[in-house]
Chains A and B, each alone.
Chain A
């Protein structure tokens, strides 16, 4: 009865799994790069330096106020036109850079809120012990703030995974793109193939989602609206 469907699944499965692997790799790159950007900018923003706070605020608003798809198109089509060699991205670089900056805007907000959520007494106590501003940040504030970032960060991880599907529009052969290619081979089984693609995304995302819910209950953490 399901002979035909099984055969289709059998012949597209290797490609879809390859796509899942690519999705996994890109999402990890996005997570790591985004965390680095966000950790740096978030810490800088919490220091309330003149000029820096406003600049980082602008970055957050621009990346959270426009759709990821628009950002991706701008990085892919517009930036190479400026005639600056460094900005002449190929599709992979454009995808990674956009994803990292997009992720970074979320992480910046999370890190900043976590630091600000820490009681002021912690920093004041560290300063009164004779630590410099940097020392108190590094030894006292950041280690405690880091713990609070875990629940919202795993929420960001889910957002990254789902955003990588959009990268298929600039030709990255990740999971969604592999699905499209498979449909060119089996045009009659659109529903089946996209159901498989959805299932694979689910398999990747669901454990992270459950971890997020668990971490929110267990660790509490700061409430950062992820929109």
Chain B
């Protein structure tokens, strides 16, 4: 017991509940904002990627490959240090806004690729039937194809959301006060790495467990209630 108390002093955690609460809140809202933005932009990007004219799909493909082949950390630095210079102004963006922009730019291509796979998974007959009903191209997409496509790839989208939540931890490097930032703050404030970092790890695992539960429920629903996780 004494050994455990010497490596993990729970009083420090109790004293820093405010910091952890603020951190968890920031992690969750940044994830939520990025999720919504990247789903919308990802759908548009998937449309661009699947378009016929080269002027549409080539830039989309180049963007997707660039994001997939470079580390998120470098992308965050590019947005945080580079973007203000590119538009000429000094830093008008707060860290959190830079973080949201960087994470959205990072997540959008992954979402786009998943949505594209979903659209391609919809049976050809659906498209033909929608055509036979005289729906215009946009209506075909919105009313017939996209709903089925999204349903097909919901598990993958949820998986990517879990990745997004984990990726927010990197924003602590540009001083966004999210969960990881809170953990580091508690560690430096109290000279207590164990209490700060292990608590952070446990918080992330709890969020992950929540995502697992949601994912299992959704998959079971999509498969008519017979899904059993492996």
| Residues of B close to A191: CB separation below 8 A | 78, 81-82, 85-86
Complex: how many Å from CA A161 to CA B69?
Answer: 9
B208 interface residue, CB < 8 Å from A? yes
A142 interface residue, CB < 8 Å from B? no
**Residue contact A194 to B78, C-beta cutoff 8 Å:** yes
Chain B, 152-167, CB within 8 A of any chain A CB: 155-156, 159-160, 162-163, 166-167
User: Across the two chains, which residue of chain B brings its CB closest to A116?
Assistant: B230
**Residue contact B82 to A66, C-beta cutoff 8 Å:** no
B187 interface residue, CB < 8 Å from A? yes
Complex: how many Å from CA A73 to CA B172?
Answer: 12
Counted as pairs of residues, one from A and one from B, with CB atoms less than 8 Å apart, the total is: 120
List the one stretch of B47-55, B125-133, B195-203 in contact with chain A. Answer: B195-203
**Residue contact A67 to B197, C-beta cutoff 8 Å:** no
Q: How large is the interface on B (under 10, 10 to 19, 20 to 34, 35 or more residues)?
A: 35 or more
A21 interface residue, CB < 8 Å from B? no
B71 interface residue, CB < 8 Å from A? yes
**Residue contact B81 to A194, C-beta cutoff 8 Å:** yes
Complex: how many Å from CA A227 to CA B34?
Answer: 17
Q: How large is the interface on A (under 10, 10 to 19, 20 to 34, 35 or more residues)?
A: 35 or more
| Residues of B close to A61: CB separation below 8 A | 205, 208
In the complex with contacts A65-B204, A191-B78, A225-B156, A176-B209 CB distance below 8 A: no
**Residue contact A176 to B73, C-beta cutoff 8 Å:** yes
Complex: how many Å from CA A201 to CA B66?
Answer: 10
Complex: how many Å from CA A209 to CA B162?
Answer: 22
User: Across the two chains, which residue of chain A brings its CB closest to B165?
Assistant: A67
In the complex with contacts A65-B208, A194-B74, A198-B78, A227-B159 CB distance below 8 A: yes
Interface of B is mostly: helix
User: Across the two chains, which residue of chain B brings its CB closest to A192?
Assistant: B82
A206 interface residue, CB < 8 Å from B? yes
CB of A212, distance to nearest CB on chain B (Å): 10
B72 interface residue, CB < 8 Å from A? yes
Complex: how many Å from CA A143 to CA B72?
Answer: 35
Complex: how many Å from CA A77 to CA B155?
Answer: 35
| Residues of A close to B82: CB separation below 8 A | 190-191, 194-195
CB of A191, distance to nearest CB on chain B (Å): 4
Partner of A78, one of B73, B159, B197: B197
In the complex with contacts A77-B193, A81-B194, A169-B173, A209-B86 CB distance below 8 A: no
A165 interface residue, CB < 8 Å from B? yes
A-B contacts, 10 listed (Cβ < 8 Å): A64-B208, A67-B166, A68-B166, A69-B180, A74-B198, A82-B7, A169-B173, A191-B86, A198-B66, A209-B65
B residues with CB within 8 A of A = 7, 65-66, 68-75, 77-78, 81-82, 85-86, 155-156, 159-160, 162-163, 166-167, 169-170, 172-173, 180, 183-184, 187, 193-194, 197-198, 200-201, 204-205, 208-209, 212
